[in-house]
């Protein structure tokens, strides 16, 4: 069992609504679990809750690492994984908005705009 608390209904709603605003439609945000190192010097992995969605050929992940602590990333493939330049967030809205903005900028660069 995970030591990290699951996402609250409010956190899930914030993510779902923000994703909907970004893409202009309902996008299914799925709950999952992942094993990550909570700290760089950890030798073992910790199971944490995750919110995941996919849109426009890109996958998005938000990891909950503690109460009101989050990490994020987006990726296109195993070789194309990206972060936002910030290790951790203490506000779910800031986490998801920053993730979506960085990915939108990346998407624009990929398409040459």
| pLDDT for the residue numbered 92 | 98
Identify the band that residue 85 occupies on the pLDDT scale cut at 50, 70 and 90.
very high
Q: Which of 69, 53, 64, 61 lies closest to 99, judged by CA?
A: 61
Q: Would the pLDDT of 84 be above 60?
A: yes
d(CA 16, CA 25): 10
Identify the band that residue 1 occupies on the pLDDT scale cut at 50, 70 and 90.
very low
| pLDDT for the residue numbered 67 | 96
Per residue in 19-60, pLDDT (tens digit) is 999 999 999 999 999 999 988 888 899 999 999 999 999 999
Per residue in 56-80, pLDDT (tens digit) is 999 999 999 999 999 999 999 989 9
| Bridge partners for 33 per DSSP | 49
Q: Which of 54, 70, 50, 58 lies closest to 105, judged by CA?
A: 58
């Amino acid at each position: 069992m995970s030591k990290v608390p699951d996402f609250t209904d409010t956190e899930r709603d914030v993510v779902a609504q923000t994703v909907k605003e970004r893409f202009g439609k309902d996008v299914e945000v799925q709950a999952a679990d992942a094993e990550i190192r909570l700290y760089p010097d950890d030798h073992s992995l910790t199971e944490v809750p995750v919110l995941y969605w996919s849109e426009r050929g890109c996958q998005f992940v938000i990891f909950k690492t503690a109460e009101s602590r989050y990490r994020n990333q987006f990726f296109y493939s195993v070789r194309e994984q990206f972060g936002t330049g910030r290790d951790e967030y203490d506000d779910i809205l800031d986490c998801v908005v920053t993730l979506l903005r960085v990915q939108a900028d990346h998407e624009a660069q990929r398409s040459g705009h």
